[in-house]
Amino acid sequence: MEGYCVKCKEKKEMKDVKMTQTARGGYMGKGNCSSCGCGMCRIMSKDNAEKAVADGSAEKAY
């Protein structure tokens, strides 16, 4: 799963992605940058979040 790394200032592949649910009911994939290791996230819809969990690219953490 890709996300935007603020430190590298470009889209990178995330590793160790955990799918969480926000306080407002949205879904967010949280992980670490594959090159620098800083935290990154990606906000997504319920359908895309469930698809990422089913594909195995993210772990369900909600």
Give per-residue pLDDT as tens, 10-51: 999 999 999 999 999 999 999 999 999 999 999 999 999 999
**What single-letter amino acid sits at 15?**
K
pLDDT at 62: 85
What residue type is assigned to position 42 of the chain? Answer: R
Domain span holding position 31: 2-60
What's the domain count of the chain? 1
Res 51: pLDDT: 96
CA distance 20 to 12: 19
